Amino acid sequence: MAYNTGSPMPPPPPYINLADQGGNNPMDLHPPSSRNLPRYHSGRKKGNECCKCVCWFCCFIFIIILAIAGFFVYLYVIYKPQIPSYSLSSFSVGAFDFRPAELTLNTKIFVSVRAENPNEMIGINYGEGSSIVIAYQNATLSSGELPIFYQGHKNVTVMQIVLEGSHPYGSGLQKAIEESSKSGSVPLDVYVKVPFSLKLDELDLHEVTVNIHCALVVDSISPKKKPNIVSAKYDVDAEF
């Protein structure tokens, strides 16, 4: 058996220069810890600012709504508003003439409308645009307007209103009215439109329109006889 008794192997060098060995990989030249990596911002700060703006806006709207609601609650508690009432107190006929040659009906009717303001601290301003119409079976007989005036606290006002009309009529209208008059029950529809605004001390509130339908029954509609009110039923609707 043979043994190698020559000189020992030289020790390895302390480092190896890869550039000298032909290496050209940048990853081999620079360790990962020394590389400059790009930084990406998540945009969380911008999103938080938007959320804060939305929250502040919602809080502002809520405070405004709460203030308005509190104001109306204050008005309701202090002034205790009540709805005014209206009724037809009298009805009379000045003219009710059928003109067959012209197929027109000329009328003149006098009505008294009673308006009651039950409020102790609220006045009522009656403005323009009011109307009152009397019809028979959807055929208009007379029309007119309510006066413009101011009604004070705890006040009852009776308005004398003159209604006039000249309208064409069909062949069956005259006969139907004559038959109703003979039976002593003439059904009429009275439509009243009342625009008004409430006055709280020196403050005028938003205008409100009250629409009233009165199903009125009288025993006669002849100018030769004083009509009596047999019945009256009211239906009230308000437009804010």
Whether 151 and 64 map to the same domain: the answer is no
Provide the number of structural domains found in the chain: 2
Residues sharing a CB contact under 8 Å with residue 163, sequence separation 6 or more, in sequence order: 107, 108, 109, 110, 111, 132, 134, 142, 143, 144
Whether 169 and 73 map to the same domain: the answer is no
Whether 112 and 207 map to the same domain: the answer is yes
Which tokens go with 235? Answer: 């239906």
pTM summary value: 0.70
Would residue 128 count as lying in a domain? Answer: yes
Whether 62 and 91 map to the same domain: the answer is no
Would residue 112 count as lying in a domain? Answer: yes
Cα 112 from Cα 51, distance rounded (Å)? 63
Residue-wise pLDDT for 29-58, tens only, equals 555 555 555 555 555 555 677 888 888 889
Q: Residue 201: what pLDDT?
A: 81
Whether 78 and 148 map to the same domain: the answer is no
Tell me the residue range of the domain where 57 lies.
Answer: 53-82
Cα 166 from Cα 106, distance rounded (Å)? 4
Whether 58 and 115 map to the same domain: the answer is no
Whether 69 and 105 map to the same domain: the answer is no
Q: Are 189 and 213 in contact (CB under 8 A)?
A: yes
Whether 226 and 123 map to the same domain: the answer is yes
Residue-wise pLDDT for 54-97, tens only, equals 888 899 899 999 998 887 788 778 888 888 899 999 999 999 99
Would residue 200 count as lying in a domain? Answer: yes
For residue 41, CA distances in Å to 44, 45, 46 come to 8, 9, 11
Would residue 29 count as lying in a domain? Answer: no
Residues of the chain with pLDDT below 50 are 1-3, 19
